[in-house]
Amino acid sequence: MGLAIRFGWIYGAPMDDTKNTQEMPISGADAGLVTMDLTGLKCPLPVLKARRQIGQMPAGGILVVIADDPAAPLDFDHFCQTGGHDLLESVAKDGVFTMRIAKALA
């Protein structure tokens, strides 16, 4: 399972605070897996929030980002290239993009 985070805004007001659906501390196979639902956010917020999160993760950790910003696939491709991270997967379905990113080892 891993950590799940939701960010977004409704009618100009922040949605619920970050929700951790996993008991802490996370251990085992899910220790380096974090999922962020960034739907509703527009460029550059998805990449900025992902950058902050990936900076807190262990090397080799997997960040799964869900976004609906049309620029997200290109933005995350560039983010991974410039940050040395590996874009493992980028999938589009019904206007929602899911990117799996492995944090750089060094």
Given a cut of 90, whether residue 106 has pLDDT beyond it is no
| Residue 32 pLDDT class (50, 70, 90 cuts) | confident
Q: Give the angle subtended at the CA of 87 by the CAs of 68 and 55, to the nearest 5°.
A: 85
57 part of a folded domain:
yes
17 part of a folded domain:
no
68 part of a folded domain:
yes
Query: Which residues form the catalytic set?
Result: 43
Residue with the bigger pLDDT between 80 and 32: it is: 80
77 part of a folded domain:
yes
Domain that holds residue 53: 1-6+37-106
Given a cut of 80, whether residue 98 has pLDDT beyond it is yes
Instruction: Report d(CA 5, CA 13) in Å as an integer.
Output: 17
66 part of a folded domain:
yes
- 33-37 and 62-67 beta bridge pairing: parallel
69 part of a folded domain:
yes
99 part of a folded domain:
yes
Helix (H, G, I), strand (E, B) or coil at 37: strand
pLDDT tens per residue, range 44-97: 999 999 999 999 999 999 999 999 999 999 999 999 999 999 999 999 999 999
Question: pLDDT at position 81, please?
Answer: 97
Given a cut of 80, whether residue 25 has pLDDT beyond it is no
The total domain count for the chain is 1
Structure pTM?
0.73
Give the domain CATH number at 51: 3.30.110.40
Question: pLDDT at position 61, please?
Answer: 96
